[in-house]
Structure 1
Amino acid sequence: MACIPGLNPSKTLAIISSSSSYSINNNLPLSSSSKSHLKITQLSKRLPKISIVMATKQQEDGLSLNALTSSDRRDEVMIAATSSLSNCLSETNLHLTIPSLKSKTRGKVRDIYDGGDYLVLVTTDRQSAFDRVLASIPFKGQVLNDTSLWWFNQTQHIAPNAIIAVPDKNVTIAKKCSVFPVEFVVRGYVTGSTDTSLWTVYKNGVRNYCGNALPEGMVKNERLPANIITPTTKAADHDLPITPDEIVQQGLMSQADYDEASRKALSLFEYGQRVALEHGVILVDTKYEFGKGPDGSVLLIDEVHTPDSSRYWLAHSYEARFNNGLEPENVDKEFLRLWFKDHCNPYEDKVLPNAPEELVTELAWRYIFLYETITKSRFQIPETAEPIHDRITRNVSHALSSLTF
């Protein structure tokens, strides 16, 4: 990671190395479990089916999965989300309020600012799917940042990451990398509803997808014989599937870099599946992004195992619902995707309908529920006295003044 010799150790700004645990500033306390790595002696290629059935028995200290649909905590979050619908962080302009930031790049969810040797990444409340922004979800940016940081900490033994500091609930400062123009999508099940989802292409007759041979006779939501990588190109408008051979042939990555990143992606996914299942949820699929640091190391970047980048199902009901031809109970944005597909053509319609308030607040709750279930930490609903953009400007300005490269 970048050397920061001039940082005052009395500051609450956290410094994160790729080889040790980290803590976050006073605004983002981590649970005690996040201060040490989870120890797993071996990552199996396939999780036994019985472990899915038994998973909820391992939640004695965590939230009950029944809390997803009925609990005092759900009521508390839903009320707070409803009152915050008009206070979402939909846009930031730190380049206008912080002189040291050179430029802004607006992603689907994150606003990225160039700070010279590092990047300032602000996770907004924008909700994306179908390669476009669908809505703004209260607290989403904060819970995504919290979730990623927890997983970044837990996975440093598998893949070093680019994180430098966390000055605000919605902000991560990261080491500037040469980003590979490829997303590593790892899948454990045949499912999905988008054009590039595995179930969509499978039901259309495709049996070799992104270099993976798929068996005949599979049905939606069935587990694959083994986890697979289905890489896509990173495009501004629409990501496209690509094979590993094409990635190398087109010069998007060297063979050595692809091999290393793909190994890391599979190991991260297997680890994530194990940890998720221990807390009663199934990590169905996810995507990883990697970059190369100045020293040539392959670093994990962007986000990790968030409900934005991943699909999660409730483990305790999966087998019964699958056997009865029912959709799994999900804890991610799939139900919002399905609502838009039922009410419009999200790929072609120029103007989309507004997502119903109850769907927006429900998604806010599901993201928080997933974070609290996996991390066993209580999400801190943000104070509303200070405008979010003012708070971010203040915290980022203070952080940048403390960083010396």
Structure 2
Amino acid sequence: MENAVVKTNYNFPGQKSLYEGKVRDVYNINDEFLVMIATDRISAFDVVLPKGIPYKGQVLNQIAEKFLNATADIVPNWKIATPDPMVTVGILCEPFKVEMVIRGYLTGHAWREYKAGKRQICGVSMPDGMVENQRFETPILTPTTKADQGHDEDISREDILRKGLVSEEDYLLLEKYTRELYARGTEMAQKMGLILVDTKYEFGKKEGSIYLIDEIHTPDSSRYFYSEDYEARLKNGEQQRQLSKEFVRQWLIENGFQGKEGQVIPHMDEAYVNSVSERYIELFEKITGDTFVKANPADVQGRIEKNVMACLKSL
């Protein structure tokens, strides 16, 4: 098993705080910049699994970099530089308290609600007579609250405005940007023989301007189907072939774990960990069309520190 980064503990110049998310460590530099390290931690069912996955952080960071670069003409984004394969340095924004989720297909959470008899999600109507994984005539927006603790919750545009979570002027812009970003992501996916099924975007504000923040169009924040057999599978009522981290969830379910109380995370041996690493590299190459180049695994922590320090000096 190669060197996986599961924890960082740097002390960068001007560092104000360190926030440890499920899979990323985020350093606040002088309340002006963020250093976001995509670690090799992996989570499922809101639980961080005990073993890191070599190269997972690099995969997610480099996919996000590609898509941030490819959408900068639609909306400015927070990224300033990618000084290391696992690191993005960018502008610190005040995040909006909602996440913008857009769904082109009736799948996942939306399908579960639909199957339970609901025909509205986040205030948006869904027509009768649809089947799982069917395409919506027009992609639907299903925002969620951004929870500090626990699960995010569905919320309608009306409730967002009524609660004053986002001003009407800003919210209309967030909707516009979300639709345009999804259209671009869909177009890029099509060229790779993929369907961008659903995804989420996070936005923030800095000095009156809206920025796209966080990662975009990665297999951790998005769901992809393979387009070649989508129609045949839909017609036959078969499950779609997915490009996401769903395979990890399935392995956990098969081994009796869904994050519920009293359940024990199954043992992740070296062979399994390396197989997950290989799947993530496959995801990278399928989504981007680029060949994945493994970063040098020797002294990864030292490499990250050196590269970030050099970047911060140049800001």
Q: Flag whether TM exceeds 0.5 (same fold).
A: yes
- Alignment TM-score, normalising by the size of structure 1: 0.73
Residue of structure 2 equivalent to 1:185: 101
**2:302 pairs with 1:390:** yes
AA paired with 2:211? L
From 279, 292, 296, the equivalent of 1:379 is 292
Bigger mean CA deviation after superposition, 339-348 or 301-310 = 339-348
From 44, 48, 54, the equivalent of 1:133 is 48
Q: Which has the higher strand share?
A: 2
From 299, 316, 326, the equivalent of 2:228 is 316
1:5-44 matches, within 5 Å, as none
> Secondary structure of the equivalent of 2:198?
strand
* Residue 149 to residue 241, structure 1, CA distance change in 2 (3 Å): same
Residue of structure 2 equivalent to 1:275: 188
1:122 is displaced (CA, Å) by: 0.5
AA paired with 2:191? E
Deviations 1:229-287 (A, max 9, x none): 11111112211111111111122111111110111011111111111011101111111
Residue of structure 1 equivalent to 2:113: 201
C-alpha distance in 2, partners of 1:320/1:359?
32
Asked whether the equivalents of residues 331 and 367 of structure 1 are also in contact (C-alpha less than 8 Å), the reply is no
- Alignment TM-score, normalising by the size of structure 2: 0.93
Matched positions, count: 311
Asked whether the equivalents of residues 332 and 363 of structure 1 are also in contact (C-alpha less than 8 Å), the reply is no
Asked whether the equivalents of residues 332 and 366 of structure 1 are also in contact (C-alpha less than 8 Å), the reply is no
* Residue 251 to residue 132, structure 1, CA distance change in 2 (3 Å): farther
AA paired with 1:169? P
1:378 is displaced (CA, Å) by: 1.4
1:376 is displaced (CA, Å) by: 2.7
1:399 is displaced (CA, Å) by: 1.5
Can you give the 5+ residue segments of structure 2 that lack an aligned partner in the other structure? none
**2:202 pairs with 1:289:** yes
From 63, 84, 87, the equivalent of 1:168 is 84
* Residue 291 to residue 102, structure 1, CA distance change in 2 (3 Å): same
1:356 is displaced (CA, Å) by: 6.0
**2:37 pairs with 1:122:** yes
Residue of structure 1 equivalent to 2:281: 368
* Residue 357 to residue 346, structure 1, CA distance change in 2 (3 Å): farther
> Secondary structure of the equivalent of 1:316?
coil
Asked whether the equivalents of residues 45 and 258 of structure 2 are also in contact (C-alpha less than 8 Å), the reply is no
> Secondary structure of the equivalent of 1:111?
strand
1:165 is displaced (CA, Å) by: 1.5
Deviations 1:309-338 (A, max 9, x none): 000111112222222222111121112223
**2:252 pairs with 1:340:** yes
Asked whether the equivalents of residues 257 and 264 of structure 2 are also in contact (C-alpha less than 8 Å), the reply is no
Can you give the 5+ residue segments of structure 1 that lack an aligned partner in the other structure? 1-82
Residue of structure 2 equivalent to 1:34: none
* Residue 347 to residue 246, structure 1, CA distance change in 2 (3 Å): farther
1:182 is displaced (CA, Å) by: 0.9
1:360 is displaced (CA, Å) by: 4.0
Identity %: 46
From 214, 230, 235, the equivalent of 2:142 is 230
Residue of structure 2 equivalent to 1:8: none
Asked whether the equivalents of residues 146 and 169 of structure 1 are also in contact (C-alpha less than 8 Å), the reply is yes
* Residue 347 to residue 245, structure 1, CA distance change in 2 (3 Å): farther
The structure 1 segments of at least 4 consecutive aligned residues displaced by more than 6 Å after TM superposition are none
1:144 is displaced (CA, Å) by: 0.7
Asked whether the equivalents of residues 331 and 366 of structure 1 are also in contact (C-alpha less than 8 Å), the reply is no
C-alpha distance in 1, partners of 2:272/2:107?
22
* Residue 104 to residue 250, structure 1, CA distance change in 2 (3 Å): same
**2:6 pairs with 1:90:** yes
> Secondary structure of the equivalent of 2:233?
helix
